[in-house]
Amino acid sequence: MCSHSRRSTTRTGRPRSAEADAAILDATRAALVELGWSKLTMGDVATRAGVAKTTLYRRWAGKNELVVDAVAVLFDELELPDRGSLAADVEGVVLQFAALLERPEARTALMAVVAESTRDEPLRERIRVSIVDRQKRLVLEGRERAQARGELPTESDPVAAARTADLIFDVIAGAVVHRALVSCEPVDEDWVRRFTAVLLGGLGATAREA
Amino acid sequence: MCSHSRRSTTRTGRPRSAEADAAILDATRAALVELGWSKLTMGDVATRAGVAKTTLYRRWAGKNELVVDAVAVLFDELELPDRGSLAADVEGVVLQFAALLERPEARTALMAVVAESTRDEPLRERIRVSIVDRQKRLVLEGRERAQARGELPTESDPVAAARTADLIFDVIAGAVVHRALVSCEPVDEDWVRRFTAVLLGGLGATAREA
Amino acid sequence: MCSHSRRSTTRTGRPRSAEADAAILDATRAALVELGWSKLTMGDVATRAGVAKTTLYRRWAGKNELVVDAVAVLFDELELPDRGSLAADVEGVVLQFAALLERPEARTALMAVVAESTRDEPLRERIRVSIVDRQKRLVLEGRERAQARGELPTESDPVAAARTADLIFDVIAGAVVHRALVSCEPVDEDWVRRFTAVLLGGLGATAREA
Amino acid sequence: MCSHSRRSTTRTGRPRSAEADAAILDATRAALVELGWSKLTMGDVATRAGVAKTTLYRRWAGKNELVVDAVAVLFDELELPDRGSLAADVEGVVLQFAALLERPEARTALMAVVAESTRDEPLRERIRVSIVDRQKRLVLEGRERAQARGELPTESDPVAAARTADLIFDVIAGAVVHRALVSCEPVDEDWVRRFTAVLLGGLGATAREA
DNA sequence: ACTTAATCGAGACGGTACGTCTGGTCTTGTC
DNA sequence: GACAAGACCAGACGTACCGTCTCGATTAAGT
């Protein structure tokens, strides 16, 4: 999460303010809510945070990196509560994700940084580490829990297992994001139930074939 | 597709140049390929098109609207070739969509305009009409064809049918976009086959339940 | 606007031309009063006159020429009323000129076109013909009348006479304009009386020397 | 002369560059010579000065203010050399003034800013302080020197003295400017001698009356 | 206590793009 | 063929941000 690598050799001089870091990220989220991605400016964030622009640029290379860090923390709130069955777990986490996408700071920032990342490999990596992998972790946890319950067989081939997890992740995350941000329709319980039924039904069908 | 609604009453004065329209949209796509969304500027597009900035702003309100119109035409190329079975049809259209997302102008523009649209209702509507509905049409055509083949039952309830089509659309489009632009992994034949299997398996399972 | 009155002779000429001319010059003066020189635009004048910009440019090369013609007519109002003595005549014409410089259209236009003319020889000539010579005529008339009254001797050398007339003209016009537009002080009766006393006193003194 | 009043309290932040000030004013004069007033643009001045447009607008509100400051320094060169008599002093300063009006930057700028000032009170004040008062000072100095020589009586009434000085100033400055810029005739030694004779003759005549 | 050196706020700097406005020209269809 | 309407190219306008750069003033950690 921390973007700044200190010179490991000598650490003399005034240390950076930890308060400033927090104030900047808070200000960034507040600005995202008020202004949205495209009208958010570095100068405005600095002013809101009561900080000089220099202080901001000393820590982040630009708007993209700053916003990724500012919204990344939102994805830490996602967790996989044990609801007793795979279907219930999936429905639960999808609803959580949908709730996150209702928040204006996530809504406006997520697609924007992904769009920027199509031409910026370091940014892509940063998004992967800060955001994508945190979501994917939930898929892996959910599978382990389902296997422990006996709802899913233990996959012997680790490569195939990883490929399947990736597929599931793209299907879940992609469908929810598309529903919420492109189709702009509510991700409500009814939709989630029908989506989960298709997903798990499909997984069961392909498992039976193999 | 056309962005400018003429005064319907009398049409006096010099008419707008159709050549300029085409040159601007071509220039926009070229600039997207070369520069990407964030570094594309209105002035540069005008220069490339051999057109004054005023001519550009007379037709489009800004970068967002211009880019939507410029990339919309790409989605007209998508079609649903009859490959003999529902699975083959789905795989075919998904591969086409993936190929489209390989094109840099689509890659850089698609997420960007969606991101902007989270705060711009008219833009959202424009995207829906120009892009989203053109993709969704393929889902509806595919279902009709599958029903004609007898692969899918004819849904009696039109509301439920529409809901299911929407769900399928979000799953397909969302998964492919997420795979291509967020996970940044190739949408190759193997992935498409596994994805299609899960999707159709899931549809079959839920159909049997009902 | 629409003149159907011409059927007698097949004339494809410009029957509205005279109306348009007057409307344009009126509109120009009105725009000068409202907006001043620098904010007056050709498009605005055309709109006020109910005329297309083309019509305007067909008659005048640009803003400078148009404004010169529009304000030139104001200088036609100046005349030399016979007040019985040279001093009274001078005072009368100076007060008339001062009154003209109170009018906002003259105030804002006069210096502006002179400024433009410092780099535009044709414009300078146009100003001379349309404006300057109309003022200078008053000096010549005043001298003749004073000579007729016996207040001034008849100059035998025509070259010297012209030089003196030019000098007087520059002194009168220059002093009044400078007082009104640069010093921005009122050209009232008191000032005019003192100015005239100096001018005529100086002329008398130099005449006595020769 | 300096156009920007600093916050008098604390002076934090990077101080403004004095070099930039000088470079901008030099560039302005150069642009006036090359292009004249109406074709001078802020962007061009900024480019010539090697300065960003923002730096320019941070110091001057617009073209008018900038040009006044740029040209004002030219009027500092005017001085009143002691030539031994009032007539010689007047002739000397008028020739200096005429030489100044030969310079293209003064020629093109002077009338233009006066024209603009007819609708802009702050600009009028700026011109008065930066340009007009510097010229008027010469009149006051000349009178003091003539009084010291005994060529002119010491005026007892200060109000009348001031009125007379204003009158003389408007006559001198107005006549020279009108001769040079409106009549566009040379202000040569012959003209200056005749003009001075009229002026001083007039002053003497009015003084004798009183 | 005293360096030392990186930090802090403020704000000016050179740039770039913005979206608008104007100047002057050129098509249109109508009269 | 002149006219109004209005689109066209060109380019200046003044503003907003960008990311960098001085400034003088704080901080601690290491003498």
Instruction: Print the SS3 string covering chain A.
Output: CCCCCCCCCCCCCCCCCHHHHHHHHHHHHHHHHHHCCCCCCHHHHHHHHCCCHHHHHHHCCCHHHHHHHHHHHHHHCCCCCCCCCHHHHHHHHHHHHHHHHHCHHHHHHHHHHHHHHCCCHHHHHHHHHHHHHHHHHHHHHHHHHHHHHCCCCCCCCHHHHHHHHHHHHHHHHHHHHHHHHHCCCCCCHHHHHHHHHHHHHHHHHHHHHC
Q: What was the pLDDT predicted at A10?
A: 59
Interface of A with B in 169-208 (CB under 8 A): 169-171, 173-179, 181-185, 191, 194-195, 197-206
Structure tokens that stand for A186 in this block: 């509510």
Q: How many residues are present in chain C?
A: 210
With contact defined as beta carbons under 8 Å apart, do A54 and A44 qualify? no
Q: Rounded to two decimals, what is the model's pTM?
A: 0.91
- SS3 call for B198: helix
- Give the span between the Cα atoms of A159 and C151, in whole angstroms: 120
The answer on B152 and B82 residing in a single domain is yes
Q: What was the pLDDT predicted at B38?
A: 97
The answer on B27 and B114 residing in a single domain is no
Question: Of A35, A59, A83, which closes a domain?
Answer: A59
By CB atoms closer than 10 A (0-12, 13-18, 19+), residue C203 is buried
- Whether the predicted pLDDT of A9 surpasses 70: no
The answer on D176 and D77 residing in a single domain is yes
Q: What is the pLDDT of residues B169-195, one digit of tens each?
A: 999 999 999 999 999 999 999 999 999
Q: Is residue B135 part of a domain?
A: yes
The answer on A46 and A80 residing in a single domain is no
- Whether the predicted pLDDT of C25 surpasses 60: yes
CB atoms near residue A13 (< 10 Å): 6
Interface of D with C in 50-89 (CB under 8 A): none
Q: What is the pLDDT of residues B135-159, one digit of tens each?
A: 999 999 999 999 999 999 998 899 9
Range with the lowest mean pLDDT among A7-21, B103-117, D172-186, D196-210? Answer: A7-21
- Give the span between the Cα atoms of B7 and C180, in whole angstroms: 51
- Give the span between the Cα atoms of A151 and A168, in whole angstroms: 16
With contact defined as beta carbons under 8 Å apart, do C151 and C85 qualify? yes
- Give the span between the Cα atoms of B55 and A14, in whole angstroms: 55
**Across all strands, nucleotide nearest B46 (CA–C1'):** F9
Tens digits of pLDDT across chain D (210 residues): 444 444 446 678 999 999 999 999 999 999 999 999 999 999 999 999 999 999 999 999 999 999 999 999 999 999 999 999 999 999 999 999 999 999 999 999 999 999 999 999 999 999 999 999 999 999 999 999 999 999 999 988 999 999 999 999 999 999 999 999 999 999 999 999 999 999 999 999 998 887
Q: Do D171 and C173 touch (CB under 8 A)?
A: no
**Predicted confidence band at A8 (pLDDT cuts at 50, 70, 90)?**
very low
Interface of B with A in 116-155 (CB under 8 A): 116, 118-119, 124, 127-128, 132
Q: What was the pLDDT predicted at A120?
A: 96
The answer on B76 and B50 residing in a single domain is no
Q: Do B108 and A119 touch (CB under 8 A)?
A: yes
Q: What is the pLDDT of residues C65-112, one digit of tens each?
A: 999 999 999 999 999 999 999 999 999 999 999 999 999 999 999 999
Q: Is residue B67 part of a domain?
A: no
B-chain residues near A127 (CB < 8 A): 182
Q: What was the pLDDT predicted at A88?
A: 97
Q: What was the pLDDT predicted at C207?
A: 84
User: How many Å apart are A17 CA and E18 C1'?
Assistant: 35
Q: Is residue D165 part of a domain?
A: yes
Residue of A35, A101, A105, A118 best to disrupt the B interface, most CBs of B under 10 A: A118
Q: What was the pLDDT predicted at A13?
A: 83
Per-residue buried b or exposed e for B59-88, using 16+ beta carbons within 10 Å of the residue's own CB? bbeebbbbbbbbbbebbeeeebeeeeebbe
User: How many Å apart are C6 CA and F4 C1'?
Assistant: 19
The answer on B171 and B83 residing in a single domain is yes
With contact defined as beta carbons under 8 Å apart, do B73 and B109 qualify? no
The answer on B148 and B52 residing in a single domain is no
User: How many Å apart are A129 CA and F29 C1'?
Assistant: 34
Higher pLDDT, residue A90 or C21: A90
Contacts of B133 (CB under 8 A, 6+ apart): none
Q: What was the pLDDT predicted at A169?
A: 98
Q: Do B201 and A206 touch (CB under 8 A)?
A: yes
Question: Residue D53, CB, less than 7 Å from strand E?
Answer: yes
Contacts of B27 (CB under 8 A, 6+ apart): B45, B46, B48, B49, B51
The answer on C42 and C82 residing in a single domain is no
- Give the span between the Cα atoms of A136 and C10, in whole angstroms: 85
- Whether the predicted pLDDT of C149 surpasses 60: yes
Please, what is the average pLDDT of chain C? 91
Q: Is residue A53 part of a domain?
A: yes
With contact defined as beta carbons under 8 Å apart, do D135 and D75 qualify? yes
Question: Residue A50, CB, less than 7 Å from strand F?
Answer: no
Residue A147 distance to chain B (closest CA, Å): 19
Please, what is the average pLDDT of chain A? 93
- Give the span between the Cα atoms of D106 and D70, in whole angstroms: 10
Residue of A32, A33, A38, A39 best to disrupt the B interface, most CBs of B under 10 A: A38
Q: What was the pLDDT predicted at D202?
A: 97
- Give the span between the Cα atoms of B169 and B161, in whole angstroms: 12
**Across all strands, nucleotide nearest C40 (CA–C1'):** E22
**Predicted confidence band at A155 (pLDDT cuts at 50, 70, 90)?**
confident
**Predicted confidence band at A207 (pLDDT cuts at 50, 70, 90)?**
confident
Q: Do A194 and B115 touch (CB under 8 A)?
A: no
Subunits in contact with chain B (3 or more CB pairs closer than 8 Å): A
Structural domain count, chain C: 2
With contact defined as beta carbons under 8 Å apart, do D94 and D42 qualify? no
The answer on D127 and D51 residing in a single domain is no
The answer on D99 and D140 residing in a single domain is yes
- Give the span between the Cα atoms of B183 and B164, in whole angstroms: 26
Which residues 29-68 of chain C have a CB under 7 Å from nucleic chain E?
39-44, 53-54, 57, 62-63
Q: What was the pLDDT predicted at D209?
A: 80
With contact defined as beta carbons under 8 Å apart, do B129 and B75 qualify? no
- Give the span between the Cα atoms of C142 and C80, in whole angstroms: 7
Q: What is the pLDDT of residues A106-144, one digit of tens each?
A: 999 999 999 999 999 999 999 999 999 999 999 999 999
Q: Is residue D23 part of a domain?
A: yes
Q: Is residue C87 part of a domain?
A: yes
The answer on C95 and C25 residing in a single domain is no
- Whether the predicted pLDDT of C14 surpasses 70: no
- SS3 call for D156: coil
Q: Is residue A83 left, alpha or beta, with left meaning phi > 0 and alpha meaning psi from -120 to 50?
A: alpha
CATH number at residue B83: 1.10.357.10
Question: Residue A12, CB, less than 7 Å from strand E?
Answer: yes
Count of pairs with CB atoms under 8 A, one residue in A, one in B: 164
By CB atoms closer than 10 A (0-12, 13-18, 19+), residue C40 is buried
**Mean pLDDT throughout B122-132?**
97
> Where do the H-state alpha helices sit in D150-188?
158-177
Q: Which of D115, D178, D202 sits opposite C199 (nearest CB)?
A: D202
Subunits in contact with chain D (3 or more CB pairs closer than 8 Å): C
Q: What is the pLDDT of residues D127-158, one digit of tens each?
A: 999 999 999 999 999 999 999 999 999 988 99
Q: What was the pLDDT predicted at C15?
A: 59
- Give the span between the Cα atoms of D131 and D144, in whole angstroms: 21
Closest B-chain CA to A36: B119
The answer on D162 and D86 residing in a single domain is yes
**Mean pLDDT throughout B11-23?**
94
Q: What is the pLDDT of residues A64-79, one digit of tens each?
A: 999 999 999 999 999 9
Closest A-chain CA to B120: A36
Higher pLDDT, residue A174 or C155: A174
Q: Is residue A12 part of a domain?
A: no
Q: Is residue C2 part of a domain?
A: no
Structure tokens that stand for D43 in this block: 């962007």
Q: What was the pLDDT predicted at A112?
A: 98
Q: Is the dihedral of CA D20, D23, D29, D35 positive or negative?
A: negative
Q: Which of A104, A112, A118 sits opposite B107 (nearest CB)?
A: A118
With contact defined as beta carbons under 8 Å apart, do D69 and D1 qualify? yes
**Mean pLDDT throughout B108-132?**
97
Q: Is the dihedral of CA B51, B57, B63, B67 positive or negative?
A: negative
Q: Does A33 touch chain B (CB under 8 A)?
A: no
Instruction: Give the residue numbers spanning the domain of A126.
Output: 72-209
Which residues 90-129 of chain A have a CB under 7 Å from nucleic chain F?
none
CATH number at residue C45: 1.10.10.60
